[in-house]
Amino acid sequence: MNHGRLVLLFSNYNHFWVEHIWGHHKRVATDEDPASSALNEPFWTFIFKCWYESFVSAMRLEGKFQRGRGRGFICLQNRILTPFAVSFAIDYAIFAYLGPRALAMQLVQSLLTAFLTDNANYIEHYGLRRERRSDKTDEWGLYNDYERPGWMHAWNTGDRITNWMVFKIERHPDHHVNAGRPYQILRTFKESPTYPTGYAGMFVLSWIPPLFFAIMNPLVRKAHEDYARQLQEGTHDKLFPKGSNNVSSAYKKTGEDFYQPGSSEYGGRVDCDIHENIAGPVWEPSEQPAPSTAQGQEALKKGCKSL
């Protein structure tokens, strides 16, 4: 987590991680989440709404965090304001020592960071929505009683180039179901909603809303129909691993929001959990025997692909 926060210092995007962990991961695939685009919502209106509402949400969440520790919002421990002060110091140092052109380059790359990050958010949950189970709201008046985030609430792809470019974040359903699972072993399942191409193609496609809608809207309908059929036929729990932990951080690894014991976040230490009952830290050498060809074929039949 600290490495990610360090990167954000140099891109003037310090509130992102607070909102991403405790906002986006909790509200994903709902109208309450500014980073989950709605059906027929153009990217060029989404991006500005996402920037504004995500910042507001992050500030609310940080205020709640500080109040829970008996501190006011403005304090040295504030995880948004203090890093922004450091970012300002970095920007000023660039200007003072390297000149206005260097500062302009720094600000442009910061804008591109925010743009590409939320371009990814736009495509990752487009049109997918969780079922709201009641009209309960949180302290900010936002509906907060939804079915748990699952394998059908984020778009997925096994595209190799995307895999190399963005460290497997395109295996997005697994990232949301098992938020603490290391990126090296995120899994992809063909039964999850799947893009027609990789992230690079989807980014460009999203910049042309009519074309994006023409291609993606039928896939959104198919994703909802597939999910309804899986639930009706009772096949959903057979297609995907058991377990859920949609919010995970250095403060609390499990149990902060939806939590269901089952599939280990580190299980298998490989892209695809072929063995049953494998657990243990991903970094430890495995003493388990290599999976047999028959086991591998059986796993692939279940829809789990290892690239």
Do 35 and 86 fall within a single domain?
A: yes
Q: 130 to each of 26, 27, 75, 156, how far by Cα in Å?
A: 12, 9, 37, 16
Determine, yes or no, domain membership for 207.
Answer: yes
Q: Among the three residues 213, 243, 273, which one is the final residue of a domain in this structure? A: 243
Residue 62 in any domain: the answer is yes
Structural domains of the chain, count:
2
Establish if 300 belongs to a structural domain. Answer: no
Q: Is residue 259 part of a domain?
A: no
Residue 297 lies in a domain: no
Q: Is residue 142 part of a domain?
A: no
Q: State residue 48's pLDDT score.
A: 97
* Residue 74 included in any domain: yes
How does pLDDT run across 83-113, given as a tens digit for each residue? 999 999 999 999 999 999 999 999 999 999 9
Q: Does residue 92 share a domain with residue 19?
A: yes
Q: Is residue 69 part of a domain?
A: yes
Give pLDDT, residue 266: 61
In terms of pTM, does the model score above 0.95? no
Name the domain boundary from 90, 110, 130. 110
pLDDT reported for residue 165? 81
Question: Mean of the per-residue pLDDT values for the chain?
Answer: 85
Per-residue model confidence (pLDDT) at position 65:
94
State the average pLDDT over residues 261-287.
Answer: 45
pLDDT, position 1: 58
Q: Are residues 93 and 11 in the same domain?
A: yes
Same domain for 6 and 78?
Answer: yes
> Which structural domain, as residue segments, surrounds residue 101?
1-110
Specify whether 24 is located in the same domain as 92. yes
- Could you read off the pLDDT of 279-295 as tens digits, one per residue? 333 333 333 333 334 44
